[in-house]
Amino acid sequence: MAALVPRSPTKEQLFELGTRNEEQETSNPPADEQEAKEKEEELSIPLTDGIQPELNHVPESTPDAPPTTQEQQRVSGFKILTIMTAITLVCLLMLLDTSIIAIPHITSNFHSLPDVGWYGAAYQLSGANSTRTLTPRSAKMFPLYYFSLLSLTYRSLICAVSTSSKMLIVGRAVAGMGASCILNGAFTIIAGCVPMAKRPPLIGFVTGVSQLGLVIGPLIGGAITQYTTWRWCFYINLPIGGFVAALLAFVRVPDQVAKSPPTSVIRTLPAKLDLIGFALFAPAAIQLLLALQYGGITFAWNSARVIGLFCGAGGTFIVFLAWDYFKGDEAMIPFSMAGKRIIWASCLTYGFLLAQLFCASYYLPIYFQGVKGVSPTMSGVYILPSVLSHIFAAVASGMLLGKLGYYLPFSVFGSVLVTIANGLLSTLSPGTSTGKWIGYQIIAGAGRGLGMHTPILAIQNTLAPAQIPVAMALLMFSQAFAGALFLSFSDTIFTNTLKTLVPKYAPSVNPQTIIDAGATGFRTIIRGAELAGVLVAYAKSVDRVFYLTAGAGVGCFTFGWFMGFKDIRKKDQVSKA
């Protein structure tokens, strides 16, 4: 066999070798060459922390973004403790603001029972719009996490000083915009601080404790309402927000993706935020929610106004989809990202899971205060079974997941428990025993805790670092938009069912009188046998809402299977297990 002889360099290669250093010292590369180099760096992001090569795709728009840092700084000791304390508190604050609003007393104060869905839907809808418009760039642009925290706190003042139901709805919408970046920012910060192997227990801790805010909101809101006024449910955000801002001000959070200079960011800001997509999606969603609120309550379902709103929502949404397709990877919902199985499966699973939690946090207090007749504080105490089981399951599953590595079993089993629990809650009546409603809530809380953080881990384990902020923003968008839709659906179901059942169980009572009185006020105007009939109608109306949440549990179970059966541990850890 002939020996292999290396080729002699050509004249062109010798010339290039001789002049390379001189060119680097005396000139900068042309703009096109520099842009190509940046693109090459971004497309060759190192596959670390269990990232799968087949999904290592960065949208076409990423050459405009700075390259991913090759050596991520890790945080430990006092710094990670400070960061975890801060982001856990702010996530707790954000979700506390979702359910603390003392719905029964507000409806009685403003005579606004049909607006129950809007108090949550306005918050979630504005958060959904802002999440997809602002958050995907937060890791590459400004420190929007801190800005969102500050805006969430001061905008709570609008809610606190509201003088009407409409003003409160506007305040909730504005506050939702401030909360839009918080959860996504928290998970992105964790991803930047620790490697994948250490993320499950941290994410489990944050989700478990922060979701505590969602489930204990009625407890705190009830106590505040009973002993002060419901307005303090919003004033409470101010001192907590200030404390968290002070903690984060003295700790540097490592970036997963290097940030561009502020001057270059400002020049490209309008194009990056997709304001046109925002302007198209918002009216489409609002028209849909208005149609759902009006249908069968204010106007007949076949009225011109309701039909027109449905048609307007559909037409505007079609235009929005066309714009998204034209915009490409810079769109509010980029098809190249949303089309990935791991992303749409995680988003649908997370959306259904959070949607049923939002509905339960609103309508269980209505059941306890309206049907059982307990005080706001005791209503919150009655929700503790779901709170405690939720926290225990979330923390325990986070620790087990870090050891076992597979997230799919937790998601599937959790969704099964959630479905069963909501089916059982749909049997609540005025005479339901204490043991039953405690047991139902324990099952529901355990199911939520098991499955809450699995979509987050699925996305963070599968995608490249540069893709995680966009994917997490889509995940938070699905949570907020699903919450807005399901709260609106539940409000429509509850109010229409109440209007139908009150004449059946209390024939002499005007249903509109019950609706106008609010969730607790009707007890002051109805007495005797008529009250017993109204209580049955109220309980059955709440039951219909839990039919909806049981369906959401089925959605979690169905789409959870598509997240894939992957091991999030590193290969060396798997070999030792």
CATH of the domain at 462: 1.20.1250.20
* DSSP-assigned states of every residue in 241-267: HHHHHHHHHT-PPPPSBPPPPHHHHHH
86 domain-assigned: yes
Secondary structure class of 99 (helix, strand, coil):
helix
Its domain, for residue 97, covers 77-257+269-274+332-576
Decide: 92 and 244 in contact? Cβ < 8 Å: no
Secondary structure class of 32 (helix, strand, coil):
helix
Sequence-separated (6 or more) residues with CB below 8 Å from residue 180: 126, 127, 128, 129, 130, 131, 134, 135, 148, 476, 480
306 domain-assigned: no
Secondary structure class of 115 (helix, strand, coil):
helix
Decide: 129 and 281 in contact? Cβ < 8 Å: yes
Question: How many domains is the chain built from?
Answer: 1
The reply to whether the predicted model has a pTM over 0.75 is: no
| Alpha-carbon gap, residue 533 to 553, rounded angstroms | 31
| Alpha-carbon gap, residue 306 to 288, rounded angstroms | 9
33 domain-assigned: no
| Alpha-carbon gap, residue 33 to 23, rounded angstroms | 14
Residue 161: beta bridge partners? none
Q: What is the pLDDT of residues 456-500, one digit of tens each?
A: 888 888 888 778 778 887 888 888 888 888 988 998 899 899 999
Encoding tokens for residue 302? 């076949």
217 domain-assigned: yes
285 domain-assigned: no
pLDDT per residue, tens digit, the chain (577 aa), is 444 444 555 544 444 444 444 444 444 444 444 444 444 443 333 333 333 333 334 444 443 444 444 445 567 778 888 888 888 887 887 777 776 666 777 777 777 777 776 777 777 776 665 555 555 454 444 455 565 666 666 667 777 777 777 788 777 777 766 666 676 677 777 877 887 777 778 877 887 677 677 667 777 777 787 788 878 878 887 787 778 777 777 776 665 555 555 566 566 666 667 778 878 888 888 888 888 878 877 788 888 888 999 999 999 989 988 988 888 877 778 888 888 899 999 999 999 999 998 898 889 988 998 899 888 788 878 988 988 898 889 888 878 887 787 888 999 999 999 999 999 999 999 999 999 999 999 999 999 989 888 898 888 888 887 787 788 878 888 888 888 889 889 988 998 999 999 999 999 888 888 888 877 788 888 888 889 999 999 999 999 999 999 999 999 999 999 988 887 765 434 334 3
55 domain-assigned: no
Q: What is the pLDDT of residues 457-467, one digit of tens each?
A: 888 888 887 78
3-state SS, 311-364, equals HHHHHHHHHHHHHHHHHHHHCCCCHHHHCCHHHHHHHHHHHHHHHHHHHHHHHH
100 domain-assigned: yes
551 domain-assigned: yes
Distance of alpha carbon 216 from the chain centroid: 17
